[in-house]
Chains A and B, each alone.
Chain A
Amino acid sequence: MPSNGLPLVPVVTQKVLIAIPAWNEQGSIASVVNSVRAKRPDADVLVVNDGSSDSTAIESERAGARVVSLPFNVGVGGAMRTAFLYAQREGYEALVQVDADGQHDPADLNKLIDGLSNADVVVGTRFHPNSQYFVGGPRRWAMVLLSKSLSWMNKGMISDPTSGFRSAGPKAIELFSVQYPADYLGDTVGSLAIAIRNGLTINEAPVTMYFRQFGRPSKNALWSALYLGRASLAIIATGLRGSKTPREDSA
């Protein structure tokens, strides 16, 4: 536990890691790394290259990020756990997850990092009065349902549980380095359920999200149904599992 004894020292510079899971994002990764580094020059940027077959790794390194390459594609959840493992071993006190496709506005980084002073996890929410983000149809119903059930579990509002723009403090880094859901579409919601189950405090901060620069927005009824099913299963499974048992799921 490298972060032990830290509160004794006045925290001048917080050790911050910005983690970007990336799978075949050669078109956008360099600009994302650059903009993030421009906004937080004090932070280290880690790109978890999730088995890309394009030049994602080279582009990231050229832009000044540290690159960790998985030998094959494991999905966002697996890539994020790799990032948490890295953060835990290197003694980072804060980890911010940013998407590689340029959806997230680096201007919001400070909000997410500062929010960790009174929470273990801060989720960037797209739903606030000034937001231009809009979803409708089955996708919206799925998101509302997930938000309601997680907020109820959390006994505090989580309006956008599927947001991938979020930050984690020392306790969350410790937890997520051991236990992080890797199932397809289950990682964002599932990790919040695990955090709640283990007594971490979750807050949210309003953020801006752009439409994807590259890649395919995946939104239709079938996708929403699949998402809802996966996420619900993740919540239920976490709920049934005993709390406070840092289950090493590879054991």
Chain B
Amino acid sequence: MTANILAAGAAFVTFFFVFYLLRKGALREKYAVLWLFFSGAALFFAVFPQALVWFSHLIGVAEPVNLLFFFTVVLLVLVAVQLSYELSRHEMRIRRLAEEVALLRDEIAHMKRPTDGD
């Protein structure tokens, strides 16, 4: 029972922390949605553990807690892949901007002293 209270508490805190960040505008919706869903589901199963037992029987998992772990791992992997994807995109964009900055800086330098241009 105490384990349930602990889990519910953790999920509750997470849910409202994400919500708070979202309201503050510090977290974009596309990331917030996943975390809200994640912590919402955790909260649900912490409050109604029977739902997890019922669900694991339905899909034939003997130990309900294994189902929980499985879904947790899958979700975390998905989040990690999403973040790598976003990071790669940003690296490419930053590089593009660096190239543009270099060319613009060169153009400006040659505008300032047109006699130097060859």
A and B interact: yes
Interface of A toward B, CB cutoff 8 Å: 44, 48, 66-72, 74, 78, 81-82, 85-86, 89, 182, 249-250
Number of interface residues of B (CB under 8 A): 12
Q: Are B98 and A85 in contact (CB under 8 A)?
A: no
- Tell me, rounded to whole Å, the shortest Cβ–Cβ distance linking B89 to chain A: 8
Residue in contact with A69 in the complex, picked from B92, B93, B96, B102, CB distance below 8 Å: B102
A-B contact list, 13 entries, CB within 8 Å: A44-B118, A69-B102, A70-B98, A70-B99, A72-B98, A74-B98, A78-B95, A78-B98, A82-B103, A86-B106, A89-B103, A250-B93, A250-B95
Given contacts A74-B99, A182-B92, 18 further A-B contacts (CB under 8 A): A44-B118, A48-B102, A66-B106, A67-B106, A68-B106, A70-B101, A71-B101, A71-B102, A74-B95, A74-B98, A78-B95, A78-B98, A86-B103, A86-B106, A182-B95, A250-B92, A250-B93, A250-B95
| Interfacial chain A residues near B98, Cβ < 8 Å | 70-72, 74, 78
- Tell me, rounded to whole Å, the shortest Cβ–Cβ distance linking A66 to chain B: 7
| Interfacial chain B residues near A69, Cβ < 8 Å | 102, 105-106
| Interfacial chain B residues near A250, Cβ < 8 Å | 92-93, 95-96
Q: Which residues of B90-118 have CB atoms within 8 Å of chain A's CB atoms?
A: 92-93, 95-96, 98-99, 101-103, 105-106, 118
- Tell me, rounded to whole Å, the shortest Cβ–Cβ distance linking A51 to chain B: 8
Bound-state CA distance A71–B103 (Å) is: 11
